[in-house]
Structures are given as C-alpha cells and as structure tokens.
Amino acid sequence: MTVSFVCRTESPLPVEQLFDRARSIDLHVDSQRSSGEQAVAGVTEGLIGSGQEVTWRARHFGVPLTMTSRVTHLDFPRSFTDEQVKGPFRSFRHVHEFAPTVTGSIMTDRVEFTAPLGVLGRVVERLVLARYLERLIRDRGRFLAAAGHDGSRHDGGSPAL
C-alpha cells in the first residue's frame, strides 16, 4: 500500500536559495546528523542535478540502511523530484516544490512511499514509518529554511552554495 504525506515550510530566504539548499548534499548530511546519514557514492557533496544519483547510508530504528536516489525531474527554481532506484522501499518518491512569497519562499515536500512489508506491516507502515519519515522531512525543512546556516562543511570544505 502506498502512503503519502505533505509538509510545507516557510522561509525568509529567496526561492532560488531555498531550492539550492534543498538539493545540497552537504546540508542534507548536516540536517540528518542524528541518524549518521552520509553520502557514500554518486554525488557526495555540493549540489545534485538532473539525472544524477546519490547513495545514502544511515541508521534508522537501529538498522543500517543504504538507499540510492536519482533526481528524475528538475525545473529551477520551481521543483525537483528524487526517486529511489535501489534501497529498502518498494518505491519512494519525493517531490520538492518551491514558490516565492511576500516574505521569502515556501517549500512543499510531497512524499509517497511503499514499504516492503506484508499485511501486518501495513499498520506499522502507516502508523510508525509514515510518522517517522514525516518528522524527518519536517525537521529537514526547518533546517533548510533557516537563514543562518551557510552550507559550509564542518570538515573545513568549501560552502555547498
């Protein structure tokens, strides 16, 4: 069964800047420090672009997971879509949409996924996994929308933007 949710995040940043922050590998890693998420193959730093892939390694629910995603659509600065090409889900699609506002911009995250779970797992999928993923996406959105973080890598590397 496919589960979906939508998160909206307002930001004081211009739409172009928020768009690039959302496709920054470095900022994604920074926003997911609690799960130890790292980019281990494909585009591993800077901005990911159309047709490019990144392989993520992280620990969620105490389980090490690896997932490869590809940017399947990019329309700067309005939207981009990434989809799992290999990983723990039967399917995973994340549409990122951006619009200017009077005070900055708004980012809308639309996520659809199907977990590899049987009939009993559908309850877990909807009640546990969906809530967990929605919280991750919401927290990531708040992190990206904050005007104070410049995208610099903590290891002394250059800024992502």
Separation between Cα atoms, residue 63 and residue 125, nearest integer Å: 16
Q: What are 51's two structure tokens?
A: 């047709």
User: 38 and 153 in contact (C-beta within 8 Å)?
Assistant: no
Q: Which CATH class, in words, describes the domain spanning 3-145?
A: alpha beta
Query: Quick one: how far is CA 81 from the chain centroid?
Result: 10
Model pLDDT for residues 26-75, shown as the tens digit of each residue: 999 999 998 899 999 999 999 999 999 999 999 988 889 999 999 999 99
Domain ranges in the chain are: 3-145
pTM for this prediction: 0.88
